Copies of this chain bind each other. A is one copy, B any other.
Amino acid sequence: MRKLQLQGYGTALPKKAIHFGKQTRYRVSQDENQLHLAVQAAGRALAKAKMTIDEIDCIVSASAVGIQPIPCTAALIHEQLAKGTDIPALDINTTCTSFITALDLISYPLEAGRYHNVLIISSEVGSLALNPKQKESFELFSDGAAAMIFSQSHDEQSGIIDSIQKTWSEGAHATEIRAGLSAVHPKQYSEATKEEFMFDMKGKQILSLSVKKLPQMFYNFLAKNDMTTTDLDLVIPHQASRAMPLVMEKLGIKPDQFIDLISEYGNMVSASVPFAFCQALEKKRIRQGNKVLLMGTAAGLTTNMLLLQL
């Protein structure tokens, strides 16, 4: 058990909701952006934790796409929340599972006492880069943010029981925004190239690779911890697509055992997992002592599983 304690959490959504049939999606308007969402979610997490920013000693941005190429996103969030302090700020990125990777990694220096209170923020405005020609992804994504604060703890009953990450780069091009950074500089933007700057998701390829790899990883992970699916109080999966419940079924996770926000909120990229985690806490679906599994597949193809005891 890597001991840690959840102190606070908060989310933020754009004001505008749109609908595709029964699916609701949130999209930023002209006067909203990624930084606003991140700062709003972080402010709410601090309020919930009854903490001020001076009590935080590490700010981690765990998002797929950043705000600017330079500096890192955490530094820009720092400017809004923590200007005048010397709190370290850094980015950790594994696309859609960035939050899980960040919590996983940061739990080590947290347990070692290097940091005492860490603020992790995932924020995304994927709607800016959607391709109207790709109906599946165009109707899937929401913008949003979620932030959580974790603290060093001496309680042996609360923390990360185990975690694992695997990357299968056979899927490296199944989810992409190819252009915009060093591979294709924005100076090459034109009518002819514009789709290279948009989100491109090969849903079937991802699903097929996930279904091939995920079950073995999941069963091995549970077995390593002497557990079966019935020992899990709640599974919080990345809200990857409308096929997510099918993947859960394939893993033997019952419908009332996992969070499904696809119809209500869609896929918020890296913000999906912490957003669903915050919802589960807010709606009291989980309580102290519960075993909660965060899991998700991300562009890469990367898969993370992190088993937490609250």
Contact = CB atoms under 8 A, between A and B. Distances in A.
A94 B93 contact: no
B95 A93 contact: no
B68 A180 contact: yes
Contacts of A129: 69, 185
Contacts of A300: 71-72, 75, 78, 89
Nearest to A58: B165
How many copies of this kind of chain does the complex include? 2
B68 A179 contact: yes
Interface in A153-177: 165-170, 172, 175-177
A85 B34 CA distance: 34
Interface stretch (A106-114, A231-239, A244-252, A258-266): A106-114
A302 B74 CA distance: 11
Nearest to A84: B170
B183 A186 contact: no
Nearest to A172: B79
Contact of A169 (B82, B105, B194): B82
A287 to B, nearest CB: 28
Interface residues of A, number: 70
Nearest to A91: B93
A70 interface: yes
A66 B167 CA distance: 18
Which one of A84, A105, A178 has the highest number of Cβ atoms from chain B below 10 Å of its Cβ?
A105
Interface of A: 33-35, 59, 64-72, 74-76, 78-79, 82-84, 86-95, 101, 105-106, 108-109, 112, 114, 125, 128-129, 165-170, 172, 175-183, 185-187, 189, 194, 197, 199, 213, 298-302
The 4 closest A-B pairs by CB, nearest first: A108-B108, A71-B299, A186-B186, A88-B165
Given A67-B183, A79-B172, A87-B167, 6 more contacts: A59-B167, A67-B182, A90-B92, A93-B93, A180-B181, A185-B197
